[in-house]
Amino acid sequence: MIYIHDNTFDGFLTSIFEIYDLKILPDDICGEKNLQPSLFADKRKVTTDADKSRRVLAGLKKKLSAHGVNSIYKCWLSEQKGIEMVLFRYISYALKSQRNIESDFSNNDVLEVSQVVKKINREIHRMHAFVRFQKTSDEVYAATIVPDFDVVTLLAPHFKERYRNQHWLIYDTKRQYGIYYDQQEVIEVKLEDAQWEGRNKVRRSVLAEEEKEFELLWKSYFKATSIVERTNLKLHLKHVPRRYWRYLPEKA
């Protein structure tokens, strides 16, 4: 049986509930947008149910620490092919075990979850370091990102704490949604007909005039303080991989 959800975390947890409810093990669990055509496999379209999702989550909280439950959510955001089946086996192991399984790295799925979480945490750390805001003419500080994993919502606590006195927007142009902070709360947003320029950057026509001047000043400062004779590209790439250069004005 292939369980097909609506590409949401609640939809995935509802799938887990139905697997246990029907007592039919999955051949696969996948979102609608990732479904591969198959002539022979039975399919079940899962309707997301908030109550079923909450019941699965409540069961997990009895078996796992807050870190363990959060790890499941982070793995889900990895969008890694086949991660739903890894998480299903991880959850099954946790629910049937009499002890906490989070450090049982002899189990392949526990090890896999741990490794994926490390990748997610590394991506979050780099987003904290490389996100660059640009002030727009309507006083909103905007930044675009294209992370390897779907981590934009996980960036909210850091930037809310750091820029609590500003209105800001971080937008994932690959997944076409973002987070917006209005000095009160962070909400998810999806821009209609969003238009970008260059490497999916905020259009220069909507930037504040002083922002363009600050960018030129920063480039001049960076150039003036760089010591060409000490350039070590290999070391530089180790700390600032080339795929993150798109966020840095000095690399434009």
For every residue of 202-252, which 3-state class applies, written as one string? CCHHHECHHHHHHHHHHHHHHHHHCCHHHCCHHHHHHHCCHHHHHHCHHHC
The pLDDT of residue 230 is 80
User: DSSP strand E in 42-163: where?
Assistant: 43-45, 134-135, 141-145
pLDDT at res. 200: 66
pLDDT given for residue 218 in this prediction:
74
Q: For residue 39, what pLDDT is reported?
A: 63
Check residue 157 and give its pLDDT: 96
Encode the chain (252 residues) as per-residue pLDDT tens digits.
Answer: 999 999 999 999 999 999 999 999 999 999 998 777 776 778 999 999 999 999 999 999 999 999 999 999 999 999 999 999 999 999 999 999 999 999 999 999 999 999 999 999 999 999 999 898 988 888 899 999 999 999 999 999 999 999 999 999 999 999 999 999 999 999 999 988 777 776 667 777 777 777 777 777 777 777 777 777 788 888 878 877 887 777 777 776
Q: How far apart are CA 108 and CA 185, in angstroms?
A: 39
**Contact yes or no for 121/115 (Cβ under 8 A):** no
Query: Which pLDDT does position 199 carry in this prediction?
Result: 64
Name the DSSP letter for residue 27.
Answer: S
Cα distance between residue 229 and residue 125, in whole Å:
30
CA dihedral 192→7→10→115, nearest 10 degrees, is -110
pLDDT for position 194: 72
Long-range (24+ apart) CB contacts under 8 A made by 205-208 are 206/136, 206/137, 206/138, 207/134, 207/135, 207/136, 207/137, 208/135, 208/136, 208/137, 208/139
Full-model pTM: 0.82
